[in-house]
Amino acid sequence: MARPRNNAQEPPATERIMAAFWHLLEDHAVKDVTISMVAAEAGCNRGTFYYHFSDMDDLMFRCIENELMGDGEDSYAFAIFRLLTKPSSELLMEPAQRQMARKLCLLVSQGGMEIVDSKMKAIIFRMWRDILCDEGQELSFESLLIIEYSVSGLIALFNLVYRMETKGEPLPESVDMEVFQSIARIQLARLASCENVELPEMLMRLKVYDKFLKNKS
């Protein structure tokens, strides 16, 4: 397929198509958004859409990966990963201030929870695998269960905080994180045990990985 012509005065087609998808979600469920709707909203034809994306699933996954996830310091995946390892009220509240929070909650509210959930967990599973496993190894089933359970709860917490903000409901000035911190300590110790890594060694690897992600952003 020939590359579509670009208008120098317009944003690139990929940006317009992604923006069109988010705009359509304001009034339509994920399952009801079609390629024709996206192309019309983006001011392009179906051929241009298919030049950049193979189908609607491809568009959705790239929107999620490019705009919501990633593994840098400004991503939701990073925020959730940090809350799993070192919970704080600032970390819990700060992501709700971001533009990406609106998009994440919009996608979830319009029927995209399963997509967000699976994408988020895949990224965080990869983070933990990089920290805990030797090259070529995979996380144990018990480790996967611990991470799966924790991530699901934190996604729900972020969405709750965002919904409270959008409704104008007051957020607490501070959140007592003692319970979250206690759970995090237990989970870290259990993950280390599941992967046969000494806890001090695991904590050292976490610091190194945390520094790597910050430098990557």
d(CA 12, CA 66): 15
Residue 128's contacts (CB-CB under 8 Å, 6 or more residues apart) are 139, 143, 147, 191
Residue 50 has pLDDT above 70, yes or no: yes
Place of tokens 């670009």: 6
Taking residues 30-51, report their average pLDDT.
95
pLDDT tens digits, one per residue of 68-99: 655 556 677 777 888 888 888 777 777 655 66
Could you tell me the pLDDT band of residue 142, with boundaries at 50, 70 and 90?
very high
- So what's the pLDDT on residue 23? 94
d(CA 55, CA 37): 13
Q: What 3 state SS string does the chain have?
A: CCCCCCCCCCCCHHHHHHHHHHHHHCCCCHHHCCHHHHHHHHCCCHHHHHHHCCCHHHHHHHHHHHHCCCCCCCCHHHHHHHHHHCCCHHHHHHHHHCHHHHHHHHHHHHHHHHHHHHHHHHHHHHHHHHHHCCCCCCCCHHHHHHHHHHHHHHHHHHHHHHHHHHCCCCCCCCCCCHHHHHHHHHHHHHHHHHCCCCHHHHHHHHHHHHHHHHHHC
Spatial separation of the C-alpha atoms in residues 217 and 210, rounded to whole Å: 11
The pLDDT score that the predictor gives to residue 32 is: 94
Cα angle for residues 84, 88, 93 (degrees, 5° grid): 100
pLDDT reported for residue 67: 64
pLDDT for residue 157 is more than 60: yes
Q: Residue 1, exposed/middle/buried by CB under 10 A (0-12, 13-18, 19+)?
A: exposed
- What's the mean pLDDT in 161-168? 78
Does this model's pTM top 0.85?
A: no
Chain centroid offset of residue 78 CA: 8
Compute CA 122 distance to the chain's CA centroid, rounded to the nearest angstrom: 10
What mean pLDDT is predicted for residues 145-157? 88
User: pLDDT category, 214, cuts 50, 70, 90?
Assistant: low
